């Protein structure tokens, strides 16, 4: 049995996902109507038999902590756990986490009480399904000190990742962090024809690492000032002559780092056969069981839509959209290519009568290419239509990023408001 502990990084301030991260950390952002991003790496661990997990948090972590506390419970005989490790002052450090490597370094002392031979480091803001048992066995077979999961990407995406050169034996010979477009021609790799035909000539780090326990400790001892895996720790391991292996992953993977990537990953889930499969008997995605009522629908035309539990929907049409838990959508409303995150609670009829605008989306609205964060109050006859031609901007109630309109959490949009195209 492979003795492995997982450390899931909660990420930094998440500025590229703003305003979805204005009141929550990146791993706590809702996805696919009923889950949160943190559910993905935790579910992958559980499905792979990795049952000891620490989640390292720092920014806006209250809702993430609450979600983990209310979701992941293990019986006393399993020895499994999902524990939060928040940034803390210690006798050896008075600083918050300064980067990915620094976060792991500052929490290593918490691992001493748990027997393990390998440390699995994961990101908390990615969408994928991977068997970490297969990854660990590859790492052992390669007799590697460190193994990095890699995936081919295009020249357009490569500058956002760590890019590497891999030899015929599967070991990484060179690595650069987020190369500029002018440097990319020197970093092309030999990839299978399937990826070459898609112009994916660059091998990118997925931010998924397995370290030998002793090797990770040695790296930290040898480089006490290094704060980031991609910028310092990994290059130092490669130039130091250690065995750094590449694990080639050839399934779906999406880095949810921007509003555009978040939007596209959600909308892609409405495809007939999406690349990320929520409907799988073995690769389950776990989340908090909320015990909500079934969704109730009145005369709505649906096409390629994901509808979560507890919704009350009177809409005219919902197409290629994701509708989150407890959503209320009024009569005559048309929603297309949009994400409606839903609500954290139900308003009573008395509260709805007293409110300026009940929580949810009103009557005769048109919502297209938009994200409606939780607990929003959208009035009647409101038009919210994003477009690729729109410039990035921010107002008190919404943000535009990459032509996508994002309503901030809990805002009120009055009757008749028009945002974007008419």
CA of 166: how far to CAs of 122, 163, 190, 238, in Å?
21, 10, 9, 11
Residues 6+ apart with CB under 8 A from 207: 9, 100, 121, 122, 123, 126, 229, 230, 255
Secondary structure element (H or E) that encloses residue 172, with its range: strand 172-177
CA 267 to CA 369: how far, in whole Å? 10
CA of 370: how far to CAs of 19, 37, 45, 57, 108, in Å?
13, 19, 32, 29, 41
Residues 6+ apart with CB under 8 A from 182: none
Name the β-bridge partners of 8.
55, 122
Rounded to two decimals, what is the model's pTM? 0.94
Question: Which pairing describes strands 4-9 and 118-123: parallel, antiparallel, or unpaired?
Answer: parallel
Phi, psi of 210 (to 5 degrees): -120, 125
Q: Give the model's pLDDT for residue 104.
A: 86
Using DSSP's 3-state secondary structure scheme, residue 398 falls into: strand
Residue 19, preceding bond cis, omega within 30 degrees? yes
Q: Give the model's pLDDT for residue 91.
A: 56
Q: Which domains does the chain have, with CATH numbers?
A: 4-268 (3.90.550.10), 296-420 (2.160.10.10)
Bin 193: left if φ > 0, else alpha if -120 < ψ < 50, else beta.
Answer: alpha
Contact 407, 372 (CB under 8 A): yes
CA 58 to CA 97: how far, in whole Å? 7
Contact 165, 172 (CB under 8 A): yes
Q: What is the pLDDT along the chain (422 residues), one digit of tens a residue?
A: 689 999 999 876 678 899 999 989 899 999 999 999 999 999 999 999 999 999 998 777 888 889 999 999 988 777 899 998 876 555 555 566 777 888 888 888 888 888 999 999 999 999 999 999 999 999 999 999 999 999 999 999 899 899 999 998 999 999 998 899 888 888 988 888 888 899 999 999 999 999 999 999 999 999 988 888 988 999 999 988 899 999 999 999 999 989 999 999 999 999 999 999 999 999 999 999 999 999 999 999 999 999 999 999 999 999 999 999 999 999 999 999 999 999 999 999 999 999 989 999 999 999 999 999 999 999 999 999 999 999 999 999 999 999 999 999 999 999 999 999 76
Q: Give the model's pLDDT for residue 95.
A: 66
Q: Give the model's pLDDT for residue 40.
A: 97
């Amino acid at each position: 049995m492979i003795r492995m502990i997982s450390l899931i990084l909660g990420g930094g301030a998440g500025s590229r996902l703003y305003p979805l991260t204005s009141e929550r950390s990146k791993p706590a952002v809702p996805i696919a109507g009923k889950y949160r991003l943190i559910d993905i790496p935790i579910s992958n661990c559980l499905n792979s038999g990795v049952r000891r997990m620490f989640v390292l948090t720092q920014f806006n972590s209250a809702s993430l902590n609450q979600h983990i506390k209310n979701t992941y419970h293990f019986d006393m005989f399993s020895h499994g756990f999902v524990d939060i490790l928040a940034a803390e002052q210690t006798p050896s450090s008075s600083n918050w986490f300064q980067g990915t490597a620094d976060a792991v370094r500052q929490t290593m002392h918490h691992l001493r009480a748990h027997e393990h031979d390998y440390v699995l480091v994961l990101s908390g803001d990615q969408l994928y399904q991977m068997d970490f048992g297969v990854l660990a066995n590859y790492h052992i077979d390669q007799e590697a000190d460190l193994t990095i999961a890699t995936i081919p990407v295009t020249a357009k995406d490569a500058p956002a990742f760590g890019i590497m050169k891999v030899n015929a034996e599967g070991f990484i010979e060179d690595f650069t962090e987020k190369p500029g477009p002018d440097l990319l021609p020197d970093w092309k790799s030999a990839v299978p024809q399937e990826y070459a035909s898609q112009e994916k000539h660059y091998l990118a780090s997925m931010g998924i690492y397995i370290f030998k326990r002793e090797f990770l400790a040695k790296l930290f001892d040898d480089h006490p000032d290094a704060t980031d895996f991609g910028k310092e720790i990994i290059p130092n391991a490669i130039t130091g002559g250690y065995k750094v292996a590449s694990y080639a992953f050839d399934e779906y993977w999406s880095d949810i780092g921007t509003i555009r990537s978040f939007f596209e990953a959600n909308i892609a889930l409405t495809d007939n056969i999406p690349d990320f499969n929520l409907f799988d008997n073995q690769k389950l995605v776990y989340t908090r069981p909320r015990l909500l009522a079934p969704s109730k629908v009145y005369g709505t035309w649906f096409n390629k839509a994901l509808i979560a539990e507890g919704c009350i929907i009177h809409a005219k049409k919902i197409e290629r959209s994701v509708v989150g838990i407890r959503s209320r959508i009024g009569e005559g409303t048309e929603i297309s290519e949009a994400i409606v995150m839903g609500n954290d609670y139900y308003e009573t009829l008395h509260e709805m009568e007293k409110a300026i605008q009940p929580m949810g989306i009103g009557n005769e609205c048109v919502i297209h290419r938009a994200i409606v964060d939780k607990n929003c109050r959208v009035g009647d006859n409101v038009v919210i239509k994003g477009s690729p031609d729109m410039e990035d901007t921010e107002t008190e109630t919404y943000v535009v990023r990459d032509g996508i309109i994002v309503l901030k959490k809990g805002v009120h949009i009055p009757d008749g408001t028009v945002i974007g195209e008419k």
